[in-house]
Each structure stands twice: as C-alpha cells, then as structure tokens.
Amino acid sequence: EDAYLADLAGVERLCDATSLRAQVNTGLVTVAHVGPKLPSLTELNLTGSVLESVRDLGTGFRLLQVLWVAQCGLRDLDGLSGMPSLRELYASYNDIADVHALDACGELEVLDVEGNCMVEP
C-alpha cells in the first residue's frame, strides 16, 4: 500500500509527498490511516470519490491546506475540525445542506459549495 501511495503522489518516500490525487470509496476501503503516512501533504484531491463523511478521512491531515471533495456524495462537512490548516475547500456538487462544520475552519479563505442543497435563510 505504501508503494502504491508513493506512486500516486509521484514521490519515492511518502514523507516527501505534498499533493495527492486519488479516487476512493470509503464504504469499501478505510482511509483514516493514510493521513499519518503523508505528514507533508498540503493538497488532497478526492474529486469523484465516494465519501460517506469527511470524518472517514481521519485526523491525520493536520497540514492539509487545500481539499477537493467535489462530486463525492457528501451530505455534510463534519470532520473538517481534524484539518486545522485548511485554507481552500472545493466541495461542489454534493448533497450538503448545512455548513456549520466550517465554524471549525478558522484559516479558510476559499470555499466552493456550488450545486449543493443549501437554503438561504
């Protein structure tokens, strides 16, 4: 698995990876253990994945600054508190109705939630 991740990230050593693009189905595969293996990761693109929850990604992405989770079937953004360095979130075209989880994202500068189910008050 480590060799596969390194190949996806285009690095020889996982600790050197700063970005990763992958498609996963967290209903079939556990990915919570991946974050600690990629301690330098700042960009993660999971567009088109099947994510039951952001929580499925675990709490190991402490330095992550950019997260793409567009078209992943997400219903909420719970779990973002495990990514305290997050500056950009691209979560378009999901089923997100509530963005209260963003309250935990004090560093967030860019937010894309186009095509979700949110209702303006």
Question: φ, ψ for residue 19 (rounded to 5)?
Answer: -145, 155
Helix (H) or strand (E) segment spanning residue 34: helix 34-37
pLDDT at 120 over 90: no
For domain 18-112, give the fold. 3.80.10
* pLDDT tens digit sequence for 3-34: 999 998 999 999 999 999 999 999 999 899 99
pLDDT band at 46 (very low <50, low <70, confident <90, very high): very high
Give this prediction's pTM.
Answer: 0.93
> Cα–Cα distance between 73 and 53 in angstroms, integer?
9
